[in-house]
Structure 1
Amino acid sequence: MKTPWTLAILAAVLSACQTVEPEPIAEADPEDRALAQAACGGCHSVEAYGLSPNSDAPEFPAIANRRNLTRETLTTWLVDAHNYPEEMDFYLEDDEVQQLVDYILTLRRVDYHPPY
C-alpha cells in the first residue's frame, strides 16, 4: 500500500525528470530571415526544415532547440569571434547579431526532432 509520502516523493522524482521544451519566441521577421540566408545560408540550413549545405554546419533549428540555449548565450556566442570555427570568422554589427538571434529563436519548436 502506498502512503501519501510515497506518492509525494514519486511525484517529485517524476517532475524532476521532465524538461521544459522551448517554444517559438515570435513570428520571423522577413528582414531577419534575409540576413540569416545571406550571411549564413551558404553553410547552414536557415529554414525550419532541411539539411545544411555544409554537413559540418548545424541547421539553425538544431541550434535554436539546443538544451539551455538562451538569448544571452546565443548572443554571446555570435559576438565572441574566438568561438567561431575558421570558416565563420567574420564580423557582425551589433544589430545584425540581434537580428540573427531573433531569427534563430523563432525556430524553436515543442515538437522539434533533428532531421537525421
Structure 2
Amino acid sequence: MKKSVFVIIVACFGLGSCQHAPESVPVAPEYREAHALAQAACAGCHSVEPYGLSPNPAAPEFPRIANARGLTRDSLANWLTEAHNYPEQMDFYLDEEEVETLSAYILTLRREDYHPPY
C-alpha cells in the first residue's frame, strides 16, 4: 500500500473516532420506568432521548413531539390511546397505564429553548 493511501485511511479513522454521541443524560428516578417503556416500545423508530435523530427519518423525535405547538398531556394521551390514529408502522396497543407513563415522559422533554434538529 502506498504511504499516501495509508495516511488517508488513518486520517479517516481518526476523524471518525472524533464523532461520538453525547453522554447519556440521566433520567430522573420518577421517569426511569417511563424511559424504559419508551426505549422498548418506541426507540426502534423514534429518538426517545432529549437529543439525537430518530432511526426512522419519518418518525419524529420525542422532543419534537413534546414541543409541538398546542400539545397537551390530554391530547397526547388521547392520541396514544386511539390506536386507529397511528400510522401503519405503529401497529401496537398501549394500555391506559402505559399511555399515562409515556405521555408524562414525553412531556419531560419540553423545553422553552427547543429548536428542531433539522
| TM-score normalised by structure 2 residue count | 0.74
Q: After TM superposition, which residue ranges in structure 1, 4 or more long, deviate above 4 angstroms?
A: none
Equivalent residue for 1:58? 60
What whole-Å deviation, never above 9, does each CA across 1:5-59 have from its counterpart, x for those lacking one? xxxxxxxxxxxxxxxxxxxxx9861110010010000000000000000000000
RMSD after superposition: 1.4
Number of matched residues? 91
Equivalent residue for 1:114? 116
Partner-residue secondary structure (3-state), 2:65: helix
Equivalent residue for 1:32? 34
> What amino acid sits opposite 2:83 in the alignment?
A
1:27–1:106 CA contact under 8 A, matched in 2: no
Structure 1 unaligned segments of length 5 or more: list them.
Answer: 1-25
Question: What CA distance in whole angstroms lies between the structure 2 residues aligned with 1:47 and 1:27?
Answer: 15
Structure 2 unaligned segments of length 5 or more: list them.
Answer: 1-27
| TM-score normalised by structure 1 residue count | 0.76
Greater CA deviation, 39-48 or 26-35? Answer: 26-35
Indicate the structure whose relative CO is greater, using CA pairs within 8 Å and at least 6 residues apart: 1
CA-CA distance at 1:89 after TM superposition: 1.3
